[in-house]
Structures are given as C-alpha cells and as structure tokens.
Amino acid sequence: MTTRREFLKQSSVLAAGALVFPQIKFSKKPKVIIIGAGLAGLAAAHRLRKKGCEVTVLEARSRIGGRVFSYNITDDLVIELGAEWVGASHERVINLCEEFGLILDNNQFETHLIFAGQYFPKKNWDYSAEWNKKFRKILEDYSQFTIEDKKKLDKLDWWRFLVNNGIDERDLQIRELLDSTDFGETIRFVSAYAALAEYAESSEKNEMDFKIRGGNQKLAEKLAQAIGYDNIKLKHKVVSVNQSADSVSVSCSGGEVFKGDYLICTAPTYALTKIKWEPSLPEDKIHALNELQYARISKHAVLFSERFWEHEDFDMVTDIYGHYFYHATKNQISKQGVLISYTTGDKADVISRQNDGFKTDMICQSLKPAFGDISGKILRHVNYYWGTDEYSKGAYALYGRGQWFTVMPVLKKRFMNTFFAGEHLADWQGFMEGAIVSGEEAADEILY
C-alpha cells in the first residue's frame, strides 16, 4: 500500500526532476533563510544547524510556535489554544520529545454523546452494528487501493462517499459531528481520499493520544534553544523575496534585508500570497495557493470552579452549538478544570463574534442534558478563533474534492532557490507531526 507520506515523497522527487535548477557549488555550508518560526520552520532550522549550516529564521509574530499556542489560564493550568494532540503514529514528534527530555502524557478520551436532546454516557452509544461492520471492511479494502483508485476517490467528498456506501441517516449525522472536528469543516467539503486515508492510516484513537507536559509550546522552546534564539528574528514580517540564479534576498517590513543561498518558506498559503516575489511565482502555484482553503476552528476554553464531569478522560460531541467538548486540563492537578468547546465551520464563525454572555448561554445549553445547570461554576472564558488569525486565516489546511493529487504537488514544488514546507504540505494536516516532517524534508532537500 502506498501511504500519503510515500506519495508525497515520490511527487516531490518527480517535481524536482522535471525542473532544471542551477547546481550551486559551495566551499562551505550554505546559508539558509527560513520564513516562519512555527514547528515547520523550527524543525528545518534545527536539522540544518545540526549539519553546521548558518540559518536565520524570520517570524512575523511576537512569539515562536505559530499555530502551537499554549496558554496559562491559571498559574497552575495550561491549555492549548492551537495544536493539541501528539498521535501514537507521530514518530518525529515523539523522537524530538525524547531528544529534548519532554514528557508525553496520555491525552486519550472516551467520548460521550448528546444527540437529539438525549445524553449518552461513554460506552453507552455506538454506530449501528451494520455500519460498524461495513466501515471495518472499507478500512480493510483501502490497503489494496492503487494510486488510480485513490485519485478516483479524491474526486468525491466524504459525505458523498459515506452515502454511496449505504450509511443510514442517524449514523451519517453522528459521523458529520465527529468527523467535522477532524477536518474543521463539514464533511461535504472534504476530499473522500483525504478523509479515508486519515482514518485508515491513523492510530486507534485517530492520533488523539498524547500531549506534551507543561504545554506543547515546550517543544517549540526546546527547538529554539537548540537553534539559538539569536538566529530567530521575531516581529520580522517578510514583504518581498528576490531570487537570482545563486542567491536569495528577503526584505522585512521594518526595512531589514537578509541574504542567503537558499530559502525555506513555511508560511501558510494566505501569508505567502501577501509576499511580493521577484521573479513572480509560477501561475500554477499562484492558482494552487488561492484554491486551498483552511479550516475555520474556534477554541473556546471555559474555566470551571470544579470538574463536575468527573472523568479525567471526558470528551463529548453534541449536535447543538457547543459542538465538541473535551477536558483540556487532563493530568493537571487542581480542583478547577477547563473544558474547551471546539466548534468548526459556520458555527465557529458565528460563535466567535458573540460576547461572553452569549457564550455562557451556549455552553450551558450544550451541557445541560448531561449535567443540568452549570452556570454557577463558570469562572472565566478564553476564546481564540483561527478563522480570523492575521497570518493563517484558518487553523489548518483543508483538502477538498479533487485537490490532494492536483493542488498538493504544485504547492510542494521548489521555485528557484526556494523550498516550501508547512502542515499544508504534509500527510498529517492539522497535526504538529506534519509541520515537523515537512520542515525536515525541506532541509534535507538542501543538504542532500
């Protein structure tokens, strides 16, 4: 079976082989400029520094980490307003945590359900026996798919694929609720191939397995320390990139100019389109940048005076406004605790604009069938809506119908002395693993 990662590696090699670039001869290690101090940029810089290369990382934000965004909601409790999970299949994140002495805590949950006004505790609900049997067969058959089979599948959306495979209405509605939390939008927008590949190639808990103790930001900090903070320039927004046959020049909004032999650009597609490129990016890349959408996700954290949900491994999907709740302070000792309401798509967009009074009512209404009136236990709200993030305009890349085998290879393609990386170019959209792997692979293209 060809996995997504193997396909991406093959397409990168073919794309590079189809183009002719000058072979630069260096008497010393190349100097590399990196746009973005998220995990892709930091991982690329770390790999290059290990090989003795000079690197300069340019970051528009005032912090490192990008879409990794750990937040201390109290002195004792840290939550993630950005990337949350490390999967059991995420080898590079796990290896880096071992390298840096970071501890991974179990972050698996047992899902409760509120559906049509009725509360179902964990292990007291399921899909129909018929659908469970059919879906197991679908996952088994995926291992025999050829590339052509996968390209045909990519032309369908996930909703249509499920319907074509005979899923009944209740099962479909619950899949919509659960699967939309994975992709950040309704399953009517998601490539059936991107969806099926994720479920077929994932760990048992769909890569929702671990979290870094003390906050996922710890990994960004360890990478930055290894790179050297003096090599990372915060508040340096890139405005233009000029390339010649054997060099690259990057200008920032403050007027500073950085020169190097190569560039690795890890910016999300929205930020990348705001950079002036000279020579201009190829038309097919510009089209691909404009075509790819990012998921609208809002993470609304609520600090409660007590953990009334009782179970440390609590999460719950609902069919009303709060959508998906999970215990964001699992394994952290305190009487207080945080549930995050994780909303996607149109729901996230609407809720993010409302005041705390509206959000309190929304939280209370969503949880009432399971826990009654919990309004008196609310201490504080914290919200971050990635749909209006200044640099990404979304949480992570969303590959729609027909895009995986067309848009993805074009976005990955090298342009002169510039290589591209980021979670949008990885086999794991929305995960730290994808960002890290893509950054390391871009560094390897320069090194080898």
Mean pLDDT, the chain, whole residue set: 94
Determine the Cα angle at 106 with ends 105 and 110, to 5°: 155
Q: Is the pLDDT of residue 430 over 50?
A: yes
Question: Mapping DSSP to helix (H, G, I), strand (E, B) and coil, where does residue 344 land?
Answer: strand
Domain 70-109+208-212+296-388 fold: Polyamine Oxidase; Chain A, domain 2 (3.90.660)
| 435, two tokens | 């960002």
Report the CATH number of the 4-62+216-293+397-447 domain: 3.50.50.60
Per the confidence metrics, is the pTM higher than 0.75?
A: yes
pLDDT of residue 25: 46
Q: Does residue 9 register a pLDDT over 60?
A: no
In the prediction, which pLDDT does 20 show? 43
Task: Please list the residues that pair with 337 across neighbouring strands.
Answer: 304
Q: Across residues 112-139, what is the average pLDDT?
A: 97
**pLDDT above 50 for 23:** no
Residue range 274-289: mean pLDDT, rounded: 98
What residues pair up with 278 in beta bridges, in sequence order? 242
Q: Output the pLDDT for position 427.
A: 86
pLDDT digits (tens, 9 = 90+) for 222-281: 999 999 999 999 999 999 999 999 999 999 999 999 999 999 999 999 999 999 999 999
78-80 and 70-72 beta bridge pairing: antiparallel
- Whether 314 shows a pLDDT value over 50: the answer reads yes
* Cβ contacts of 167 within 8 Å, gap of 6 or more: 131, 134, 175
Angle among Cα 420, 33, 384 to the nearest 5 degrees reads: 65
Q: Which fold has domain 128-201?
A: Guanine Nucleotide Dissociation Inhibitor; domain 1 (1.10.405)
- pLDDT value, residue 429: 84
pLDDT (tens digit, 9 = 90+) per residue, 188-212?
A: 999 999 999 999 999 888 899 999 9
CA 288 to chain centre: 19
For range 396-422, the mean pLDDT:
97
Q: What is the pLDDT of residue 428?
A: 80
The pLDDT tens digits of the residues spanning 155-174 come to 999 999 999 999 999 999 99
Closest CA to 386 of 375, 395, 374: 395
The answer to whether 392 touches 270, Cβ cutoff 8 Å, is yes
Taking the CB of residue 351, how many other CB atoms lie within 10 A of it?
20
Supply the pLDDT for residue 144: 95
What is the reported pLDDT for 21?
46
15 has pLDDT over 70: no
Domain ranges of the chain: 4-62+216-293+397-447, 70-109+208-212+296-388, 128-201
